[in-house]
Amino acid sequence: MNSLVIGQVLFLLVVANGAPILARRLLKHRFYRPLDGGLNLADGRPLLGASKTWRGLLAALLLTPLMAGMIGLSLWLGLVFALLTMAGDLLTSFIKRRLGMQASSMALGLDYLLESLLPVLVLAPSLGLSVWDVFIIIVFFMILALLLSRILFFLGIRKRPY
């Protein structure tokens, strides 16, 4: 088990997932554009929902590589990490909308799973992570995300706690 790499990956997961929240907080309604353009599918539900924005996606794609570079990882790895994290997040939102769940509602077990599992699994060989390391990262991230969600809600940064 490589504790340094596990810590770096957990940090990048927090950055990639937190960047859209930070962008919304700092920019308010500026640059707000839903990724799905308000599209509803045949089931009458949004494709992704209004909370998935271009502003948030761009924030993650800019901030994650910068932070990766600051902790000794390549900018390229940071960018791929951000892309995979956001892809997992968007897939989670798509699934939640199909299940009839509101944006930002909690789906324990689904929330944070795909957005952490996808980048960690794909990049595990590049980062030298074992299956056990991947398991540890996913579990720790899910716990950390739940705790941070409550703190950010308490501070008025998140709309709802998980």
160 falls within a domain: no
121 falls within a domain: yes
- 38-53 tens-digit pLDDT: 889 898 899 988 889 9
Q: What is the pLDDT of residue 118?
A: 95
93 falls within a domain: yes
In the chain, what percentage of residues exceed pLDDT 70?
Answer: 93
Among 48, 59, 76, 49, smallest CA distance to 24 is for: 59
State whether residue 28 is helix, strand or coil. coil
Instruction: Report how far residue 158's alpha carbon sits from residue 139's, in angstroms, rounded to the nearest whole number.
Output: 22
**Residue 78, CA distances (Å) to 20, 68, 124 in order:** 16, 5, 13
145 falls within a domain: yes
Instruction: Report how far residue 118's alpha carbon sits from residue 124's, in angstroms, rounded to the nearest whole number.
Output: 10
120 falls within a domain: yes
Q: What is the pLDDT of residue 151?
A: 85
15 falls within a domain: yes
- 26-39 tens-digit pLDDT: 888 888 899 898 88
**Single-letter residue type at 7:** G
The mean per-residue pLDDT over the stretch 58-82 comes to 97
Number of domains within the chain = 1
Inter-residue contact 113 to 146 (CB < 8 Å) = no
108 falls within a domain: yes
Instruction: Report how far residue 105's alpha carbon sits from residue 130's, in angstroms, rounded to the nearest whole number.
Output: 32
Q: Is the dihedral of CA 95, 21, 116, 137 positive or negative?
A: negative
The mean per-residue pLDDT over the stretch 91-112 comes to 81
- 114-150 tens-digit pLDDT: 999 999 999 999 999 999 999 999 999 999 988 888 8
Domain residues for the domain of 79 are 3-154
